[in-house]
Chains A and B, each alone.
Chain A
Amino acid sequence: MKPLFKSLVLATAFVVAPLLGATTASAEGEKYILVSHAPDSDSWWNTIKNGIALAGEQMDVSVEYRNPPTGDLADMARIIEQAAASNPNGIITTLADYDVLSGPIRAAVDQGINVIIMNSGTAEQTREVGALMFVGQPEYDAGYAAGLRAKSDGVKSFVCVNHVISNTVVAERCRGFADGLGVPLGSSMIDSGQDPAEIKNRVLAYLAANPDTDAVLTLGPTSADPTILALQENGMAGDIYFGTFDLGDEIVKGIKSGIIKWGIDQQPFLQAYLPVVILTNYDRYGVLPGNNINSGPGFVTADGLELVEKFAGEYR
């Protein structure tokens, strides 16, 4: 048993050593940590990772990305506490649930760490936790703008495919869209789950049960990609009014081929890139922009898709 044990230890050391070396090598200069609420499976956050990597490289600082593997917000609170304990220069975090996250964020601020809220949260909550600023897209306003746009295109009813039903901030998009259209949200929002096959089948089922639905609204690539497949399968593609939040490879192709009318780009790259730049300049020179930054909404339509297409899923 002794030699076996020894070899196990050696094996671990061999596996672990290169990984550690690879990730701690760039730790010179300021250190920042970005904490997201997304589970590992959410592909949208790849743009965020690329954004902080680029900003870290350009500003010569190290930026780490952390998230709760299953998307459990209580686990995220622990990660923020952990991030604060490792004493970085600044923390960039989302505020997906104010009740759960405000305590740990407030404690980090009081401990002397600069915090910027990105992506999820409101201006008011940002002020209350004592963060420097908010960089993101006001979700209700974005949904409302989309609703007005759809209304002027003649849409009267819709279904909202929500793949993150537990994130109250994202659900605001559906509410804003309904208010913009001037129709009650009612049962128009469906909980699709995260699994592509499930999402596709739920959309098919809903549209079969409610064939007079004018529009489909999806809330990100996770729900948009399977919805495209669903519409291709039941022949509604190109006919039904289809709008989506966020961009991705399939969404861009969908916009190009006319299946999707528009995509609302909240420009996640800016949400990741700007906080790193702002925090670094604040730490180095004490300069800070005077207000929150709206990174979106920007409507992406079939016109001017070239740059979007080139960088979709990477920086767009």
Chain B
Amino acid sequence: MVTSNPSPAPVADERIKERSSLRKALVRPELGGMCGTVLVFTFFLLTAFDSGMFTSQGILNWTLVSAQFAIIAVGACLLMISGEFDLSMGSMIGFAGMMIAIFGVTLGWPIWFAIIVTFVLCMGIGALNGYIVIKTGLPSFIVTLALLFILRGFTIFLPQTIERKTIIGGIRDVAEGDWLASLFGGKVLTGLFQWLGDAGLIATFERGVKAGQPIVDGVPMLVVWAIGLIIFGHVLLTKTRFGNWIFAAGGDAQAARYVGVPVSRVKILMFMFTAFCATVFATCQVMEFGSAGADRGVLKEFEAIISVVIGGALLTGGYGSVLGAALGALIFGVVQQGLFFAGVESSLFRVFLGIILLLAVVLNTYIRRMITGER
């Protein structure tokens, strides 16, 4: 982690190719994501500027959607760089939410305890995912596909058996005033937004019990979690020895083992981190909406993978960046909500998604070749 290299003045190493500092600053895995972000924002500023997309409420809307993608994209990104996939993420979101509801509402446990038990349980399942992949040597694609069905099945079966319905509500009531719940469902900077509303800088409610209060009354914890996870993931990946291990495990696992990288441990930890991210997503969602449903999180695993791929990571592992994945999530979220603002027929959303994915992958491939020099 800390390089205490007492080498004197840097002597030019003839083994390293000379590169201009501009090129070094520009050519990086996130370049595709940056270009895409600029492109997408320019596009929507031109086509949907007066549609409410860039009012406080509109900005919060696509920020929330992007933050949701970002939370799962960080986990998926690190796991993908370490050379594995997790297709059970979406099911894990539904499962985690349902577990919190069953523990907290049906069994009546205090909500902080329900949340902690759910985190432990889900990370345990993540570890199981990793353990099976490592022990059997099967592709993680197949192993986690099995978990996708198993978890979704339980998410439908458990509430139906226990409560005779597939949506469990009433979480908001039991979570009222809970210290841990507010860490997921609360809002920060509420004072600032009230001030902005009073000063007339952002829109306020016109009628009802909340008249006079700003429509956007704070930054939801979902966004704070997203930013926190992005920073954590970025630092872990680029500034620590463990980060190097992640790259090594995904690049060539056998070579990494030869030089002493604990590949199995790294991969299992990454599976657990992915499960952690999915559970954060689920907890924020459950705390915000106050209910857990059996259909939550359907196809979210692909949305996470799409964000990561738009952000420049390689499906085969060993290459990628957390910042890129975060930008991928931002692009995904802005496009998804922006198309609504621009008034595009909603059934065309998938067409746009496909086009963006294709463009991003082509662009990223060129950038990667420039970086690594491969042909």
**Across-interface contacts of B61 in A (CB, < 8 A):** 78, 81-82, 85
Q: A69-B349, A73-B293, A78-B65 are in contact. Are A111 and B205 (CB under 8 A)?
A: yes
Q: Which partner residue on chain B sits nearest A64 by CB separation?
A: B343
Proximity string of chain A (1-41) to chain B, C-beta cutoff 8 Å, 1 when within and 0 when not: 10011001101100110011011100100000000000010
Tell me whether B167 and A97 are in contact (CB under 8 A): yes
Q: Least Cβ distance of B72 to chain A in Å?
A: 13
Tell me whether A85 and B346 are in contact (CB under 8 A): no
Q: Least Cβ distance of A89 to chain B in Å?
A: 13
Tell yes or no: B274 within 8 A of A by CB.
Answer: no
Tell me whether A24 and B337 are in contact (CB under 8 A): no
Q: Least Cβ distance of B295 to chain A in Å?
A: 4
Tell yes or no: A154 within 8 A of B by CB.
Answer: no
Tell me whether B297 and A86 are in contact (CB under 8 A): no
Give Cα A112 to B340, complex, Å.
20
Tell me whether A99 and B207 are in contact (CB under 8 A): no
Give Cα A70 to B57, complex, Å.
24
Tell me whether A20 and B298 are in contact (CB under 8 A): no
Tell me whether A107 and B167 are in contact (CB under 8 A): no
Tell me whether B289 and A107 are in contact (CB under 8 A): no
Give Cα A20 to B299, complex, Å.
27
Tell yes or no: A288 within 8 A of B by CB.
Answer: no
Tell me whether B165 and A168 are in contact (CB under 8 A): yes
**Across-interface contacts of A19 in B (CB, < 8 A):** 344-345, 348
**Across-interface contacts of B340 in A (CB, < 8 A):** 66, 79, 82-83, 86
**Across-interface contacts of A71 in B (CB, < 8 A):** 295, 298
- Residues of chain B at the chain A interface (Cβ within 8 Å): 35, 39, 43, 47, 51-53, 55, 57-58, 60-62, 64-65, 156, 160, 165-167, 169-172, 203, 205-211, 215, 285, 289-291, 293-299, 337, 340-350, 352, 355, 359, 362-363, 366-367, 370
Tell me the A63-118 residues at the B interface (CB within 8 Å): 64-67, 69-74, 77-79, 81-87, 97-100, 103, 106-107, 109-112
Tell me whether B293 and A24 are in contact (CB under 8 A): no
Give Cα A74 to B299, complex, Å.
13
Please provide the 5 A-B residue pairs with the shortest distance between their CB atoms, ordered closest to farther: A99-B291, A110-B208, A112-B206, A99-B169, A166-B295
In addition to A69-B350, A70-B299, 9 A-B residue pairs with Cβ atoms within 8 Å of each other are: A4-B366, A67-B346, A70-B298, A73-B293, A78-B64, A85-B52, A85-B57, A109-B208, A191-B160
Tell yes or no: A171 within 8 A of B by CB.
Answer: yes
Q: A19-B345, A83-B340, A85-B57 are in contact. Are A112 and B64 (CB under 8 A)?
A: no
Tell yes or no: A130 within 8 A of B by CB.
Answer: yes
Give Cα A1 to B52, complex, Å.
36
A: interface residue count bin:
35 or more
Give Cα A83 to B337, complex, Å.
10
Tell me whether B337 and A82 are in contact (CB under 8 A): yes
Q: Which of B165, B205, B298, B363 has the most chain A CB atoms closer than 10 A to its own CB?
A: B298
Please tell me which one of the listed residues B295, B345, B363 contacts residue A23 in the complex, with CB atoms under 8 A apart. Answer: B345
Please tell me which one of the listed residues A8, A23, A72, A112 contacts residue B344 in the complex, with CB atoms under 8 A apart. Answer: A23
Give Cα A40 to B299, complex, Å.
13
Q: A74-B285, A166-B167 are in contact. Are A27 and B343 (CB under 8 A)?
A: yes
Q: Which partner residue on chain A sits nearest B352 by CB separation?
A: A16
Q: Which partner residue on chain A sits nearest B338 by CB separation?
A: A82
**Across-interface contacts of A65 in B (CB, < 8 A):** 346
Q: Which partner residue on chain A sits nearest B171 by CB separation?
A: A99
Q: Which partner residue on chain B sits nearest A88 by CB separation?
A: B52
Tell me whether A72 and B166 are in contact (CB under 8 A): no
**Across-interface contacts of A107 in B (CB, < 8 A):** 205, 215
**Across-interface contacts of A5 in B (CB, < 8 A):** 35, 363
**Across-interface contacts of A168 in B (CB, < 8 A):** 165-167
Give Cα A90 to B342, complex, Å.
17
Tell yes or no: A165 within 8 A of B by CB.
Answer: yes
Q: Least Cβ distance of A86 to chain B in Å?
A: 4
Tell me whether B205 and A98 are in contact (CB under 8 A): no
User: Can you offer 19 A-B residue contacts whose CB atoms are under 8 A?
Assistant: A1-B366, A4-B366, A8-B362, A15-B355, A20-B342, A22-B345, A69-B349, A69-B350, A70-B299, A81-B61, A83-B340, A85-B53, A85-B341, A86-B51, A86-B340, A103-B290, A165-B160, A171-B165, A191-B156
Q: Which of B169, B367, B370 has the most chain A CB atoms closer than 10 A to its own CB?
A: B169
**Across-interface contacts of A22 in B (CB, < 8 A):** 345
Q: Least Cβ distance of A170 to chain B in Å?
A: 11
**Across-interface contacts of B169 in A (CB, < 8 A):** 97-99
Give Cα A85 to B255, complex, Å.
53
Proximity string of chain A (120-156) to chain B, C-beta cutoff 8 Å, 1 when within and 0 when not: 0000000000100000000000000000000000000
**Across-interface contacts of B207 in A (CB, < 8 A):** 109-110, 112
Give Cα A81 to B285, complex, Å.
15
Give Cα A110 to B208, complex, Å.
5
Q: A1-B366, A20-B342 are in contact. Are A72 and B296 (CB under 8 A)?
A: yes
Q: Least Cβ distance of A201 to chain B in Å?
A: 16
**Across-interface contacts of B285 in A (CB, < 8 A):** 74
Tell me whether A12 and B359 are in contact (CB under 8 A): yes
Q: Least Cβ distance of A286 to chain B in Å?
A: 16
Give Cα A86 to B53, complex, Å.
7
Give Cα A110 to B206, complex, Å.
6
**Across-interface contacts of A110 in B (CB, < 8 A):** 205-211
Proximity string of chain A (163-190) to chain B, C-beta cutoff 8 Å, 1 when within and 0 when not: 0011010010000000000000000000
Give Cα A165 to B167, complex, Å.
10
Give Cα A155 to B171, complex, Å.
40
Q: Least Cβ distance of B305 to chain A in Å?
A: 15
Q: Which of A67, A99, A111 has the most chain B CB atoms closer than 10 A to its own CB?
A: A99
Q: Which partner residue on chain B sits nearest A77 by CB separation?
A: B289
Give Cα A314 to B348, complex, Å.
21
Q: Which partner residue on chain A sits nearest B347 by CB separation?
A: A40
Tell me whether A130 and B208 are in contact (CB under 8 A): yes
Give Cα A83 to B299, complex, Å.
23
Q: A1-B370, A4-B366, A111-B205 are in contact. Are A86 and B58 (CB under 8 A)?
A: yes
Tell me whether A165 and B166 are in contact (CB under 8 A): yes
Give Cα A103 to B65, complex, Å.
17
Q: Least Cβ distance of A131 to chain B in Å?
A: 12
Q: Least Cβ distance of A206 to chain B in Å?
A: 16
